[in-house]
Amino acid sequence: MNSNHNVAIMAGGIGSRFWPMSRTSYPKQFLDILNTGRTLIQQTYDRFKKFIPEENIYIVTSEEYVELVKAQLPNLPINNIVAEPSRKNTAPCVAYISYKLKQLNQKGALICAPADHLILDETAFTKVCLEALAFVSNNKALVTLGIKPTHPNTGYGYIQFEQQSASDNVFKVKTFTEKPNAELAKTFVSSGEFLWNSGIFVWQISNIITAFEKYMPEMAEVFESAKDAYNTEKEKEAVDKIYPQCTNISIDFGVMEKADNVYIIPSSFGWSDLGTWNSAHDNMEKDYFGNAVTGNQVMVIDATRNMVHVPDNKLVLLQGLDDYIIVDTKDVLMICKKDKEQEIKQYVAEVKRNKGDKYL
């Protein structure tokens, strides 16, 4: 393993589209959504420790989730839990860990990856990550891992790339497109020029900092101003002052879509961003009628293609439902058509409006 290689696992989100399992106090990255025996953040940590030194694995999360991280990753050094004082999207998250690590290792390379993705082929994933790390060590490049699309999904961002490779299996990025409509998604997939945006990035720390200085100078300035505090007892106080000054913006919008040195590696490693109950259904074992069931006392009668997540030892009899999401927790029961899953965020907002924060 290379001591210059680092990974920042981004674990500060609240996963509202997995409500009512995912709650503000206990979001989806800390849940075993797929009933595998390991939570999503544990699976992500396990995946990276195969090729990144464990002392170089960092979890960037919200202050309120620090104790959850400690409980679920007991072997992680306490100093490797990087706590954000508020949620400001991924650009401040990436800036914080980058400026912090720059003080530890000027030659470091960094992978930034979400905590809640599913990756089925970990051997292929490791290979692609090492290819990306090798490329950024020899080029002033910002690399993203692109997923070869299997269907015209409207829930993912798309990245167009040049057809002439810059290096073996590395291509220059042409355009970024946010979630397209169905017709555009079909055009993208059939063209062969587009990949899904995985949200996994690889770069030399010095190069992403240069990009912040060029494309987000105000953010660069505030994080640079605290450089003497990083990795000392003064870090928390300094960062608490910085975050209110940060724009709430993603690294995609803030840097990647503006930079002229962005490259992509087309990849196939069984990836899903596990953003919705439908994506969970796609990746779980199903019965003969297409029902994905978590819960050991579920009886299914004339019901098909449902996503069922209920407590063990609670008898649930399901009859006549087709294409539904059924999620039962100790205080919430949700029954929702699968084709309405993109509206779950709106339903959560409606719950907040009518019932307050109690069920969030």
Is residue 74 situated within a structural domain?
Answer: yes
pTM, 2 dp: 0.89
Is residue 81 situated within a structural domain?
Answer: yes
> Do 94 and 205 have their domain in common?
yes
Contact 252, 240 (CB under 8 A): no
> Do 268 and 291 have their domain in common?
no
CATH code: domain of residue 202: 3.90.550.10
Coarse DSSP helix, strand, coil percentages of the chain, rounded to the nearest 5 percent: 35, 25, 35
Is residue 360 situated within a structural domain?
Answer: no
Contact 5, 129 (CB under 8 A): no
> Do 34 and 162 have their domain in common?
yes
> Do 328 and 294 have their domain in common?
yes
> Do 142 and 260 have their domain in common?
yes
The structural domain count of the chain equals 2
> Do 298 and 232 have their domain in common?
no
Classify burial at 215, counting beta carbons within 10 Å of its beta carbon; exposed 0-12, middle 13-18, buried 19 or more. Answer: middle
> Do 208 and 325 have their domain in common?
no
Which of 253, 272, 291 is a domain's end point? 272
By C-alpha distance, which of 191, 117, 183 is closest to 154? 183
Looking at this protein, which amino acid is placed at residue 180? P
How distant is the alpha carbon of residue 238 from its chain centre? Answer: 26
> Do 225 and 331 have their domain in common?
no
> Do 283 and 258 have their domain in common?
no
Which of 239, 272, 305 is a domain's end point? 272
Query: What distance in Å separates the CA atoms of residue 13 and residue 62, rounded to the nearest whole number?
Result: 8
Which of 231, 246, 272 is a domain's end point? 272
> Do 131 and 204 have their domain in common?
yes
Is residue 303 situated within a structural domain?
Answer: yes
Domain extent for 306: 277-355
Q: Chunked in runs of 10, what are the mean pLDDT values of the chain (360 residues)?
A: 92 85 90 88 94 94 94 93 91 94 89 92 93 92 90 82 81 84 80 86 95 94 92 92 91 90 91 85 91 92 94 92 94 92 88 90
Is residue 109 situated within a structural domain?
Answer: yes
Query: What distance in Å separates the CA atoms of residue 142 and residue 211, rounded to the nearest whole number?
Result: 9
> Do 149 and 45 have their domain in common?
yes
Cis peptide upstream of residue 266 (ω within 30 degrees of 0)? no
> Do 115 and 170 have their domain in common?
yes
